[in-house]
Structure 1
């Protein structure tokens, strides 16, 4: 990891897997006027490495060099309305630990904010409400396998402290705008105000609700059990 530049502006990346309710962090930041860029989910997204789902493969094959990828991201910022040297919270469409080859040496000023809940609650939420990101939802077991692999990367990132990051755990505060704002304030080291509860969206299933489906979704939850424990959640 390269040294963090002195006096670097706020540079954060916000991401969450399906069912994590990362949208509630993004909504809060947008409504309080934070420098959030959510254009990756809009009609005119930036054409940079974080937008292309093939980027991990391109990095692994050497088709894309990490330094060039970082430069591409920086060069796209002005067109996204980010002034030179200005603060930025970039809402990401996806995450893969291969991006650490880009961020560690070339974006040392950044911090990755990862929205997180019990993986079994995340799966249940994904099955019930879908997600804003363009992920196909196969059957529950296949979704659990994919989600488990993704969250294993989060666990690896966290355990190895591979890049400055914060795990934003929403368990128990999904519908609490004050608690959500407080969590963001701690993560960003700036004061973030709360938003009206109705602006967060409708109420979702409470934390731990997955246990009500422990029989119906037993095979899928068995897949997610190990990574749930690795991330600090109980076995049952």
Structure 2
């Protein structure tokens, strides 16, 4: 579902083919990121805690991309998104009594490609969602952005790996820079090994945090940012009580030619 200020909510259907085949809209205005591409990644916990809006207002409004997980389409969030960003795209994972919840990507440019993905939790039968979008950069390259909330309650890693599969199909055929980020629920050794193996296969590097205050489960972080074809200028974790996860803030230098 796409939310744009002054326009009715639009339902976006999966493309008939992947981005590299040419299933993209004509390029519009690029992300305004000549020197720095600012990205905020945050599981917002369905806006159940106080201060979530102030965190977004203080740290999100200056970002070029905001990747939210467990974003519930409340009027307050939609108003923030459409007031500060050109487009907000959400993949509803499941419908709560009032508002759908799922991953949502806010961007200061219109996406030229948008592919929603879902995977059902095998035990709870609830769905987790992911969203692949693409945006033109000032460098004339196309940036692929993957926003993911990984399945949580599953035995083994079959379903976990299954969810990563279609994302890998998108990334491996893309020739430009890539950002893949979100709540990966990598709380077991099996899961984090599968995630790191996937990143290696895709040629993705991990953003490292000096003061690592990411939410952990069983001693392992749940939220990650992976990237390709860019340089990290700064990375930090914001400590807050506004969610059960802490937001990740990263500044990329987008002007380096992607090396694949």
Pick the TM interval, shorter chain.
Answer: 0.3 to 0.5
Question: What TM-score do you get using the length of structure 2 for normalisation?
Answer: 0.31
Pick the structure with greater CA Rg.
1
Question: What TM-score do you get using the length of structure 1 for normalisation?
Answer: 0.34
Higher helix share: 1
Q: Which has the higher contact order (CA 8 A, sep 6+)?
A: 1
